[in-house]
Structure 1
Amino acid sequence: HLTVFSVLLFLPSGLLAASPVEAPRPLLPPQVGPRLKLPAALGKPVPSSVQDLGAIERHVQSLLPRLSAATVGIRAGRAQGSGVIVSPDGYVLTAGHVSATAGRDVQVTFPDGKRVKARTLGAFHTADAGLIKITEKRKEPWPFIPVADMRDVKVGDWCLALGHPGGFQPGRPPVVRLGRVIRITRYTLQTDAVLVGGDSGGPVFDMHGRVLGINSRIGRPTTSNYHVTVSSFLDNWTDLVRGRVWGSRGPSQAVMGINGEDHPRGCKVTGVPENYPAAKAGIQVGDIITQFDGKPVRTFRDLVLLVSQKQPGDKVVVEILRNNQKIKVTVQLARR
């Protein structure tokens, strides 16, 4: 159990100037940012003194000007959300349910109230990952934040969640909440940073000042807050930039046909309905699925996401553990 404190921090707005120039559209994913030398207090399970709290506060304050400048409000029709710019030419990460579909004209608002035109690109709805591109012409690069290397992230790490709770409000910069990482998979990050409506699509940062993920599901208690990891974007960057919209927040079109639960070594199979692909391939209750189509499976959610990226009829190799023995089976996915 982690003892956690939360703080609300407000940062004065900066000034952003715009001038015409055509921004390039590279397919290269956002750059990974460097690690910083962190205060010793951030390595402790909990702050143990007033000095520790002061060290954490000073470090957070040192990051905020840069993080806040790249955290934007998004208005798509009547819907409002948040996002973060991750490239100098204006690619914006947000939640899939904020961007919704490709080709929509949206409005991006900076902390100082400046509004620019943008357009939605692709969305991976199963992971709730959406991409937007600022289309306004500008001479200078847009303020942006590099992404994190998710291999650096571990449970217990401190993090910062930014967004526009209740929607963008003139004169109020992005609100900052401090929290901890309490669970992580390849595509899902769970934290106890307090979020409310309007924060959807906003960024969560590590203490190195890099984007860890995007605010997705907001609920109660505070431990019910989920974020889309940057891996969801990086693994699918080309498709997102090209405007592909796929996956579903509901059941995917392709089906494998198992019931499962999280297991320390992968996804444990708890049920195999008859006449479904998994049963036909010989998968059994008690098997632990560790890989799907060559990609690691660490949780049941991982498996759901991987299946959602496939089409009915696709044949995939599934690696399982059965009685501590590795077995590979080929499963032909069916239509739901």
Structure 2
Amino acid sequence: MKVDMSLRRFVFAAVLWVSLAGPALAQGPATRPAGEIAAAATRPATCPAVFPASSPALRTDAPKTVDELRALEARVQAACKKGLAATVGVIAGGGQGSGVIISPDGYVLTAGHVSGAPNRDVTVILPDGRRVKARTLGANSGIDSGLVKIVEKGPFPFVELTKSSDLRPGMWCVAIGHPGGWRKDRPAVLRAGRILSATDRVITTDCTLVGGDSGGPLFDLDGRVIGIHSRIGPSTSLNMHVPVDSYVQTWERLAAGEAWGSGLFGQVLRPGPAMLGVTPADDERGARVEALTPDGPAQKAGLKPGDVITAVNGQKVANAQALFMLIAGMQVGQSAKVSVIRGGETLELTARLARRPGA
């Protein structure tokens, strides 16, 4: 038996179900004072404990034998079992998203564009289908983190957090969510994949996501949360997640019901067939490069994470959306003269656009 074929079958088997989903939840920009948050949603003294990841959970190698493949499969199954017990659906207004319970008293991590404005009444759907009342707390739109508190009496099933700063490219991970919204005829959907890149602002993976997955959890092989699904990249095999460290670092602001930051999240941008191969984020100077597609046009042209793209072929790039729109209007094989700021230096790099996977 060839191990690479077994690995391929394993990865395909891990993608249990994929569906098109409706638009993400509406977001509210208003900031609410902490005093407006319902008494039932008072914050704990500290953020839930963060556990260090074990060495096996950080493995970046592919299985070399059938036994190693079976061991990896067992780790994925164990992580899924833990994750499914705490992954929930979130209903707010006319839309649905996902979330994950991280404390027995019902604190739920989700995406900022899912939770929206603080002090909103929402419904959380538990894995057994039971619906409980909840309240939105804080949200950071600049990175797309959000916090929700179940206001009914617990305890609730929950999962632990681990340090997203320990992530490395190639590490195996598991994404869980409710694409298309919670459905009574199926549990949350599982997808296995690997870390493509990880910074303090964004994690990218090849775990296939669709719009309704927003707010769902990303797990390591220990079944501990490493990130929260945020948005879809230029292809379904390049998706972005909020690092769990950002929730820990801003816990007091989130739990106090504070809303801050600005950004464009939760939207599935419809790119054309051409691809530059960058994961951008808004920057006051243009579009900051958060990650690069391996061997993509941008990487081959010399762009690096942290570069700020200010123009393409002389056309100003005001933000990440502007960059997407410019590339969407270009052709496969076309040369793109990319103006970037790196440190205090301005560079002009030329990339030849490639065909986007699946286009």
Scaled by the length of structure 1, what TM-score is found?
0.69
Give 3-state SS (helix, strand or coil) of 2:149's partner.
strand
User: CA 1:248–1:50 in structure 2 vs 1: closer, same or farther (change >3 Å)?
Assistant: same
Q: AA paired with 1:88? A: P
Please list the CA deviations of residues 178-235 of structure 1 after superposition, one character each: whole Å capped at 9, or x if unmatched.
0000011101000001112321110000112211111111255233311111122122
- 1:260 and 1:159 map into 2 onto residues whose CA distance is 26
Going from structure 1 to structure 2, the CA distance change for 1:240 and 1:48 (only over 3 Å counts) comes to: same
**Paired residue for 1:29?**
47
Hey, what's the Cα distance between the residues in 1 that align with 2:240 and 2:195? 10
Tell me the residue number matched to 1:80. 96
Whether the 8 Å contact between 1:261 and 1:270 is mirrored in structure 2 is no
Change (3 A) 1:234 1:78: same
Confirm or deny that 1:46 pairs with 2:55.
no
Shift of 1:136: 0.6
In 1, distance between residues paired with 2:209 and 2:78? 22
Listed as ranges, the matches of 1:1-336 within 5 Å are 5-6=11-12, 7-8=14-15, 25-36=43-54, 38=56, 43=59, 45-138=61-154, 141-219=155-233, 221-250=235-264, 257=285, 266-267=306-307, 288-289=342-343
Q: 1:242-297 deviations in whole A, cap 9, x for unaligned? A: 1111111159xx985477657658546868xxxxxxxxxxxxx98744xxxxxxxx
Partners in 2 of 1:270 and 1:175 — Cα distance? Answer: 38
Say if 1:195 and 1:269 are closer, same or farther in 2 by CA, change over 3 A: closer
Distance, in Å, in 2 between the alignment partners of 1:120 and 1:247 is 17
Structure 1's 269 and 44: CA in aligned 2 closer, same or farther, altered over 3 A?
closer
Q: Deviations over 1:163-184 (max 9, x none)?
A: 0111101142211100000011
Q: Distance in 2 between matches of 1:131 and 1:92?
A: 6
Report sequence identity in percent: 46
Unaligned 5+ residue runs, structure 2? 18-39, 266-281, 291-302, 312-338, 347-359
CA contact (8 A) 1:95 1:128 kept: yes
Query: Amino acid of the residue matched to residue 81 of structure 1?
Result: G
How far 1:8 moved relative to its partner?
3.5
Report how many residues are paired: 265
Query: Alpha-carbon deviations, 1:107-159, whole Å to 9, x = none?
Result: 10111101111000111012111110010123xx3211121112321011000
Query: SS of the residue aligned with 2:176?
Result: strand
- CA distance 1:34–1:258, shift in 2 (3 Å): closer
Secondary structure class of the residue paired with 2:91? strand
In the TM superposition, residue 54 of structure 1 has moved relative to its aligned partner by 1.3
Question: What RMSD over aligned residues (CA atoms) do the two structures have, in Å?
Answer: 3.4
CA gap 1:250/1:81 in 2 versus in 1, 3 angstroms: closer
Does the aligned pair in 2 maintain the 1:107–1:116 contact within 8 Å?
yes
The alignment partner of 2:68 has SS state of helix
Q: SS of the counterpart of 1:234?
A: helix
Give the aligned residue type for 2:63: P
Which letter maps to 1:154? R
Q: Is the 8 A contact 1:23 1:89 kept in 2?
A: no
- CA shift for structure 1 position 9: 5.3
Q: After TM superposition, give the deviation of residue 24 of structure 1 in Å.
A: 6.2
Deviation, structure 1 residue 70: 0.7
One-letter amino acid matched to 1:105: D
> Structure 2 vs 1, CA of residues 101 and 194 (structure 1 numbering), >3 Å: closer, same or farther?
same
Change (3 A) 1:36 1:270: same
Q: Aligned partners of 1:220 and 1:267: how far apart in 2?
A: 18
Tell whether the 8 Å contact from 2:217 to 2:225 is kept in structure 1 after alignment.
yes
Structure 1 unaligned residues grouped into runs of 5+:
11-21, 272-284, 290-319, 323-336
How far has the Cα of 1:91 moved from its partner?
0.9
TM-score (norm 2): 0.65
How far apart, in 2, do the equivalents of 1:217 and 1:112 lie? 27
CA contact under 8 A between 1:112 and 1:171: conserved in structure 2?
no
What displacement does 1:30 show?
2.3
